[in-house]
Amino acid sequence: MSGETPHATAVEVVRRGRVSWLTHPPAGVARIEADSFAFHATPVSLPDGDPIPNEATPGELLAITHAIFLATAVAESLVLAGSPANEIVVTGACTFDGPVEDRRVTAVDLHVLGRVPGLDLAGFRETVTAVRPASLRAAGFRDDVPGELDVEIAPSS
């Protein structure tokens, strides 16, 4: 190899998911599925208040999506810098405004906890802050979406 990492190659990737909404959407019963069959059909609801037990909400799925993209971007950046993490935990929260038919995201808050040998909080915060705009773009958002970014580092064990 000529010093290139396998992460440097740009490849177009297509992923598919499906929602089946029965009985008078959006009030009826919805189920989501992934082409990868990573999980069985999962029920989804659009409650205005607290989530319904055992039913995912689009907001939760979006928060998870942001967490995945940020965790991936942080991990890749740390590997490329020669400081791979032992653990990265990202918690996402998406805030919405408006009625269901015109709902919009007003903030994406992210909390990142890392266990990275040899890296202090300032270095970890710098990495997370640097990659956040790219992770927002990867999730289909503008890179200037408002939101809190909370960063912690855990002692390496």
Q: Model confidence over 25-45: pLDDT tens digits? A: 777 778 889 888 888 888 888
Residues 43 and 66 in one domain: no
pTM for this one? 0.84
Phi and psi at 58, nearest 5°, equal -55, -35
Residue 138 domain boundaries: 58-157
Domain boundary among 56, 76, 96: 56
Domain boundary among 33, 56, 79: 56
Torsion of Cα atoms, 29 then 51 then 87 then 157, to 10°: -140
Q: Model confidence over 108-118: pLDDT tens digits? A: 999 999 999 99
Domain count within the chain: 2
Higher pLDDT, 13 or 130: 130
Residues 143 and 75 in one domain: yes
pLDDT at residue 122 tops 80? yes
Q: How far apart are CA 109 and CA 101, in angstroms?
A: 23
Q: How far apart are CA 88 and CA 85, in angstroms?
A: 7
Residues 35 and 90 in one domain: no
Residues 52 and 69 in one domain: no
Residues 51 and 62 in one domain: no
Q: DSSP readout, 29-50? A: EEEEEETT-SS--EEE---SSS
User: Which residues fall within 8 angstroms of residue 59, CB to CB, at 6 or more apart?
Assistant: 94, 96
Q: What is the mean pLDDT of residues 87-92?
A: 96
User: Which residues fall within 8 angstroms of residue 119, CB to CB, at 6 or more apart?
Assistant: 78, 83, 127, 153
